[in-house]
Chains A and B, each alone.
Chain A
Amino acid sequence: MSAATNAPPALNGNCGGKPVAIEVQHIVKRYGDFEAVKDVNFCVAEGEIFGLLGPNGAGKSTLIRMMTTLIPVTAGRALVAGHDVSEDPDDVRRMIGVIPQALTSDQDLTLEENLLIYAKLYGVPREQRKKNIDAVLEAVDLTKWRDAQTKTLSGGMRRRLEIARGLVHNPRIFFLDEPTTGLDPVSRIAVWEMLDKLKTSRNLTMLLTTHYMEEADKLCDRIAIVDHGNLVALGTPVELKNSVAGANVVEVHFDREDDEWQGRLEKIEDVTSVVPEGSGFYRVITKSGSKTTMQIVELAASLGETLTSLSVQNTTLDDVFIHYTGRQLRDEQVKPVFMMPPRPGAQP
């Protein structure tokens, strides 16, 4: 099944009549002969959390960098808050907050100093600065660390400081490039909750990139799946899951590995695809989880084989991703992100 035929209607960039915060039209980015982003279209409605989901090297960061004026657009157009990123970059910069992938706040400076510098860079009026800093520190729950040096914070707290930094000038649109990469699961969940709260309290439009399925599923109103520079699917998490033929996934583990298992499983009624995962593990996508489960048990019994485990689950974004790209996100080798080593004596 091709991506184009299964993709939800929003793939053409239609925001369903809602006020548009970001509009990307036929955008292309080339580096010499290499096309990093290929004719991508989408729009983000005001107040929406929009996710760009894809593996490293898919073109997510390139897309976000074009929208935040960090790299020039080769062809096409991107409008952010009504301003063209190529023609009015300064107007775009005034309307947006950006959280880069790396933690870039100055470690030697206090939290307040970091925020103050950025308030000045964004041109926040002098009388407004303290008020804004108080508000964003409160929003990210770092008020009591205000005078602490940034190097004394944990990774999760530093990420929250970065988020506060991006909000210090009250932007309308917030770009986050892999905001939870490198965080432990507890800190990651804390960041999700905070972003969700910020969206509501500040009526922010957010565009974030991620390669975490769970993050996209929990946080985003709509998700665009990007692969090899192409936008291959776009919709709400529910729409995307529904767009995949087969509503359930049955994970089965046979005691004994046999080359014929895949063929046998594919012949079962309602099964749409079978993904072998090695060592007797199979991922069976089916229209009816309960019925297929019964049939697998019967099949194993009739052949005198033992089932080590059997589980049924609803379609996840993992399945959606496999469906549209033909591979699993975790198959992709994760590229190391360059981080400067801390200066000797600095706390990690």
Chain B
Amino acid sequence: MNRMFAIVEREMRKFFRSPTLMIMSLMMPILQLVIIGNAFGGKIVGTHVAVVDHDQGPQAIKVREAFDAVAANIKTFTTMNYDNEVQAREDVRTGKIDAAVIIPAQYSRRVYAQDAPELGIVVDNSDLFTSSALEAEMQSLVDALNAPQIQDRLTKAIALEIVELYPYVNYLKYLLPMTVALAMYISVMIGGGMLYIDDKARGVHEGYLVTPITKLELVFGLNIAGAMKATLSGICIGVIGSLIAGLGVVFHPMIMMQMLSLIVAGSIAFNGMMFLLMVRVDDPLVPRAMFGVLNVLLLYPSGAMYPIASFPKWMQAIGVIDPFTYVIHGFKAVLLKDGGWVAIWSDILFLTVFGIATLLVATPLFKRTL
């Protein structure tokens, strides 16, 4: 046991003696949280929409007033008057403006005559997000123009009442579980992957192998140290990320316990997986070549950013055996839903079993000789 703890001690001392490495492995996921959280969560504002009014009638003025209201309030777009429809289309195509609304001639007459009046919108659909936002905004404006001025006392339409179980979850909060999981993964990737292979290549392991340390002591020493480093990363990012995202629940004692359990189980699972992947690798370039792709391969199918239900079957299958899936599900259940132990026990169980299973497979593959 002393020998095993000597390995743990060595790894931890090295970890704390590399402040740059430590800070970078913590800072990068936080930066990712801030940047992706704001990138995904922000509303589209300040786009430019051309209005080509061939009608100039009272109903056209009503449309333009509605546009002015949008520009003054939610600021999704501001309007610019164009006389030439062809020029407006060309400017959308070249990116000078984001869309063009065409109010055709005889629009007002058709509205009064209830003769299928139409408004046209030309959008740059190579930019999915902006075009979707503008289309949605225009559709709601058109719906408002279609709505009768005076409502029936008893409405005939079926209404859908939406009940949100939890307070509003912005993207920063939504992405926090992914960020914490990613910090743990990066810690394991650097400590359990790159540094492990670098140590092997530098001959550090050769130094261990000539001592009377047993194979199990060595394997468990390396893995306990790796899991401890990932746990520390998870705790740090959990706390810092919660403060940034405004999730005070993380300081509730029970939530802390649940988070800690998930972080420890997740660290064991990530570390076991990494050790299994690296156990027979000798070339220091292999982990560097692998990790960029592995990151994507594991993170996206986990449902961290997009729901698993939207993936093809083969991606859903990866998600089933992907430890990220369970870590993120658990974190979401605890941080965003206060789901309690009942919501996370299966995640903790899977992660623990996964970690132990990967270690059991990796241990016989670990060579006690060079």
Give A contacts to B, CB under 8 Å: 65, 68-72, 90, 93-94, 96, 98, 100-102, 104, 106, 108-109, 113, 117-118, 120-123, 149, 165, 338-340, 343, 345
Contact = CB atoms under 8 A, between A and B. Distances in A.
Given A70-B210, A122-B211, 6 more contacts: A70-B206, A98-B210, A100-B207, A104-B207, A120-B3, A120-B9
A104 B203 contact: yes
Contact of A121 (B6, B202, B369): B6
18 contacts: A69-B209, A70-B206, A72-B369, A90-B214, A93-B210, A98-B207, A100-B207, A104-B202, A106-B204, A108-B18, A109-B17, A117-B6, A121-B212, A122-B211, A122-B212, A165-B207, A338-B201, A340-B284
B5 to A, nearest CB: 7
A70 B204 contact: no
B2 interface: yes
Contacts of A94: 212
The 10 closest A-B pairs by CB, nearest first: A120-B6, A108-B17, A102-B203, A121-B211, A98-B210, A104-B203, A93-B212, A340-B202, A117-B10, A104-B207
Majority-rule SS of A interface residues: loop
Contacts, number: 80
Interface string B3-43: 10111011001100110100000000000000000000000
A50 to B, nearest CB: 18
A100 B201 contact: no
Contacts of A71: 369-370
B198 interface: yes
A338 B285 CA distance: 13
A109 B13 contact: yes
A155 to B, nearest CB: 15
B364 to A, nearest CB: 16
Contacts of B18: 108, 343
Contacts of A121: 3, 6-7, 208, 211-213
A235 B281 CA distance: 41
Contacts of B203: 100-102, 104
Contacts of B209: 69-70
Contacts of B208: 121
A109 B7 CA distance: 13
A120 B5 contact: yes
